[in-house]
Homo-oligomer: A and B are copies of this chain.
Amino acid sequence: MEVIETIAQMRELRRAMRLTPETTLALVPTMGALHKGHGRLIQRALTLATNVVVSSFVNPLQFNDSRDLASYPRTPEQDQDICKKLGVHYYFMPKPEEIYPPGFLTTVNVSHLSKKLEGASRPGHFRGVCTVVTKLFNIVQPDFAVFGHKDAQQLVLIRHMVRDLAMDVEIVAVPTERDKNGLALSSRNVLLDDDGRRKALCLNRALRRVHFLVKKQGITHVGELLQAVRSAINSAGDGVELDYAHIVSRMTLEELNHVERGNTLVLIAARVGGVRLIDSTRL
């Protein structure tokens, strides 16, 4: 595995790759602190392309809360070991000052969609995501880019951006990886203590409850389903605080009145012992 630290190096490498027409390239953009969920993304990338780049960049532009940025876990050596073992070809870890040089002014925004849900709770978050993803795409020029389903709204926005701006990359999505208790894997999980880890299971429990109500009891009324989500979260007890729960169209992220099979996303965000977690599922 080759470790790449500058845009110029990455670009030169990409130019060289193009000389061999059989070469294809898949990018897995990460903020480091890799876990098994990232592992799944990387494994998928390895099936898509002859070469895989994992980028590792904790993007300050997508953090609206400086404490969240400061506490975001960083495990660079461990990340490189994981990538090496999985068979990743290139590990791209640009410096913040190269991604955001002095006088940086340009942003990419998916208006409307970026202001909803997670975007309403974290103003500017998705502008930061779309801007850095655009820049990574411009640098790496991947044929494929792999994202997880867990950040469901992010996936919707990135697909929309790629379509709108005719970016020459195929977006591939991978289902959310969960631990044996059902907790969605997240880099932020390491910030949970034992009590938090137990209480955090309420997010998955709420999503499973929605599936049960829809599939087993034929309930499609969103108000009723959201009520069940709120109960599941609230029953987790002290230190758990629901930020939002929404049931929306997968295409438009508009609130639905009734579940539309194949076009429905359930999105939850909650604070558990001060750690903000999100989870989602499709119906």
Q: Are A165 and B135 in contact (CB under 8 A)?
A: yes
CB distance from A156 to the nearest CB of B (A): 11
- Asked whether A77 is an interface residue with its Cβ less than 8 Å from the other chain, the reply is no
Residues of B near A103 (CB, < 8 A) are: 160, 252
- Asked whether A207 is an interface residue with its Cβ less than 8 Å from the other chain, the reply is no
Measured between alpha carbons, how far is A131 from B7 in the docked complex, in Å?
23
Instruction: Produce 1/0 per residue, A146-186, CB < 8 A to B.
Output: 00000000000000110111111000000000000000000
CB distance from A49 to the nearest CB of B (A): 15
Residues of B near A21 (CB, < 8 A) are: 18-19
Q: Are A139 and B166 in contact (CB under 8 A)?
A: yes
| Interface residues in A, total, Cβ within 8 A | 33
- Asked whether A231 is an interface residue with its Cβ less than 8 Å from the other chain, the reply is no
Q: Which of A111, A134, A164 has the most CB of B within 10 A?
A: A164
Which of the residues B106, B160, B161, B165 comes within 8 Å of A164, measured between beta carbons?
B106
Measured between alpha carbons, how far is A110 from B103 in the docked complex, in Å?
11
- Asked whether A141 is an interface residue with its Cβ less than 8 Å from the other chain, the reply is yes
Can you spell out 25 A-B residue pairs with CB atoms less than 8 angstroms apart? Answer: A18-B18, A19-B21, A101-B163, A104-B164, A105-B110, A105-B111, A105-B113, A105-B160, A106-B108, A106-B111, A106-B130, A106-B160, A106-B161, A106-B164, A107-B108, A108-B108, A108-B109, A108-B134, A109-B109, A131-B165, A135-B164, A135-B166, A138-B165, A139-B166, A139-B168
Interface residues of A (CB under 8 A from B): 7, 11, 18-19, 21, 101, 103-113, 130-131, 134-135, 138-139, 141, 160-161, 163-168, 252
